[in-house]
Structure 1
Amino acid sequence: MKPIKSTLLTLVFISITTMGCKNSNKTVQTNTITQTDTTIYKGTASVSQGPATVVTENVFECDRGREAPIGTIIATDGTSWTVPALVSFTDDSFPFASDLFNPCTKVEYNSADEALSALDGTDIIEIDEGGEVITAYIFADNYFEMYINGVPVGKDNVPFTQFNSNIVRFKVNKPFTIAMKLVDWEENSGLGSESNRGKAFHPGDGGMVGVFKNANNEIIATTNSNWKAQTFYTAPIKNLSCVSEEDTLRLSTNCNADDSDDGTSYYALHWKIPSDWQLPNFNDSEWPSASEYTNNVIGVDNKPSYTNFTNIFDDSSADARFIWSSNVILDNEVLVRYTVD
């Protein structure tokens, strides 16, 4: 095939002054990026190239944890995007989930019963007066925000690492809709990667597993392919010709996800999130089904935040599955939904 002639576009990111959790009142330097022609891409996403402008260097500090930056980036169509996602981590009105196992806070329970016995009931978010108390056990790589019928009920208290797990309790009547924002965080802001395995640009993987129990300690829902999952941020993309779309499927499975020593010229894809995605009446019928992943693929065998609770997550009668979009490595922001009848 005759190569497409490249043109050059110059994107100038204007320096901005922001308040962050670390190094507040920092002025970010102007960052000029030259990029090749993106006419090869025919999908519905906005396309950016190169690193984002970091506006908050780290939203959370943890001993032996990675820094969790927030950045903004301008796409070739002029739209502005927050990476890795627009989250509510610093929003006090969105409640934190309770600890199941958290090396950052040193709250490290050996069993779910031990963790539950430490709760006094003030953690329970009431959605329906007279509803049933539901207990959710969540392990997310890296970060989650959970809504029930559109009401915020719990967010991850560690955005990146160390790896932790959580309990979320809420009071609700059936049927109810679970909606979750899942984020695979990034050290290289806007480039969907981190320093790992001897390389400066290693695309990390995601994955979330959840078990929901009623007041009688009976499992009423687990994560599996019956959930819906849609992608909203994909990076790094080395060559835009590798991505495609089939109806509502946003596919990057043909893209090269190898580590790199220099990923500063790589692309990212961004899709706008519907404003009502977390509400029970949102129509997710056209969203793809969630993809399932094994424990081995996600790599949890050495993480006590998971292995301490395999009797919960790997119950022989209702084994919960790790879920994500179709690409657990390159898709960094994924929304999932499920209705419990």
Structure 2
Amino acid sequence: MSFSPKHVTAVLLAIAMGFSAAPAASFAQKPPPSPDGKAPPPPPGGKGPDLNESKIDSKGAHAVLGEVWVDNWFKLYINGKPLIEDSISIRTERSFNAERFEFKTDYPMTIAFEFRDFMQDETGLEYIGTRRQQMGDGGAIAQFRDLTSGDLLTASGSDWRCITVQTAPADNSCERERNPDVSMANCSQTRTEVPDDWMAPSFDDSSWPKASVHSARDVRPKDGFDRISWDKSAKLIWGPDLQKDNIVYCRAVVSG
């Protein structure tokens, strides 16, 4: 069977138009799957995708408003007891969000944070096995106000005490390893043992270093950070190394 030049031209034009009509997303590279192989959880509640607001049923003589933004996850203890943890799982890719919450407590109030940056395993890396394999970077900011008066009680800064509990990898070259493993010298981790009662009011944190303050340029806060009016005294804090420090504990005390 033979085709005329006009017939061939018409067929090629139809094919070209079919490709141009296909959605661009169908050709885009899909993001890597979540580390646990599960679909990301749905967005948090609250007044927007980047801010979760809640009222916590707790006891005390004083009503307090807490506001926190963390890359990537936190758990907060007040006076030694768990109060709230990040509403978005740390296993969620790009789990950036802010939390605003009301609670009641008594003074003095001991604030104890467990901060975590996402790490796929103990090498401290993320997106392992993809072209995006890298060390992540952390950062946190928090402030607490008297709910009745609006007065600032405390905000994260160099007067808080923070200790790095897990650091990895040992060397930046681990980022380029084809099969990174924590048993490798350049991918090894350093862990600091912390007593189980580190969040208790009676715990002596005087030997802990002061929090390391980092600039917004270095932390690059996003997705929820600008949903909160931060007091000028509130600073972005973490361990000394934003990339290698993956688990950080921080404490502060409000006398009232």
Q: Same fold (TM over 0.5)?
A: yes
Identify if the C-alpha distance between structure 1 residues 237 and 213 changes in structure 2 by more than 3 Å, giving closer, same or farther: same
Distance in 2 (CA, whole Å) between partners of 1:257 and 1:329 is: 13
Picking from 134, 140, 159, the partner of 2:89 is 159
Which structure 2 segments of 5+ residues have no match? 1-34
Aligned to 1:209: 141
Distance in 1 (CA, whole Å) between partners of 2:50 and 2:97 is: 14
Q: Percent identity?
A: 25
Task: Quote the offset at 1:111 in angstroms.
Answer: 10
Runs of 4+ in 1 over 4 A off after TM superposition: none
- AA paired with 1:194? E
* SS state at 2:218 partner: helix
| Number of aligned positions between the proteins | 211
The Cα offsets for residues 113-141 of structure 1, whole Å up to 9 and x where unpaired, read as xx76xx5x5x2322x3xx11111100011
1:324 aligns with 2:238: yes
Q: Which has the higher strand share?
A: 1
Aligned to 1:335: 249
Aligned to 2:40: 61
Distance in 1 (CA, whole Å) between partners of 2:50 and 2:169 is: 38
Task: Flag the structure with larger Rg.
Answer: 2
Identify if the C-alpha distance between structure 1 residues 259 and 280 changes in structure 2 by more than 3 Å, giving closer, same or farther: same
Distance in 1 (CA, whole Å) between partners of 2:196 and 2:44 is: 33
Q: How does 1:233-272 map to 2 (within 5 A)?
A: 233-238=166-171, 256=172, 259-262=175-178, 263-264=180-181, 265=184, 266-272=187-193
- Would the aligned equivalents of 1:110 and 1:308 in 2 still touch at CA under 8 Å? no
- AA paired with 2:70? A
- Would the aligned equivalents of 1:207 and 1:322 in 2 still touch at CA under 8 Å? yes
The Cα offsets for residues 231-269 of structure 1, whole Å up to 9 and x where unpaired, read as 11111113xxxxxxxxxxxxxxxxx47842533331111
Aligned to 2:79: 149
Give me the TM-score of the superposition, normalised by structure 2.
0.74
Distance in 2 (CA, whole Å) between partners of 1:58 and 1:152 is: 29
Identify if the C-alpha distance between structure 1 residues 283 and 277 changes in structure 2 by more than 3 Å, giving closer, same or farther: same
Which structure 1 segments of 5+ residues have no match? 1-55, 64-103, 239-255
Aligned to 1:140: 70
Distance in 2 (CA, whole Å) between partners of 1:182 and 1:288 is: 16
1:283 aligns with 2:204: yes
- Would the aligned equivalents of 2:72 and 2:95 in 1 still touch at CA under 8 Å? no
Distance in 2 (CA, whole Å) between partners of 1:213 and 1:59 is: 37
- AA paired with 2:102? R
Distance in 2 (CA, whole Å) between partners of 1:178 and 1:289 is: 15
Aligned to 2:6: none
Distance in 2 (CA, whole Å) between partners of 1:60 and 1:274 is: 35
* SS state at 1:297 partner: helix
The Cα offsets for residues 122-175 of structure 1, whole Å up to 9 and x where unpaired, read as x2322x3xx111111000111111011101111012133331111232212222
Distance in 2 (CA, whole Å) between partners of 1:257 and 1:273 is: 29
- Would the aligned equivalents of 1:60 and 1:158 in 2 still touch at CA under 8 Å? no
Identify if the C-alpha distance between structure 1 residues 260 and 106 changes in structure 2 by more than 3 Å, giving closer, same or farther: farther
The Cα offsets for residues 157-210 of structure 1, whole Å up to 9 and x where unpaired, read as 2133331111232212222110011111112x11101129x7453110111100
Distance in 2 (CA, whole Å) between partners of 1:286 and 1:59 is: 41
Distance in 1 (CA, whole Å) between partners of 2:47 and 2:124 is: 29
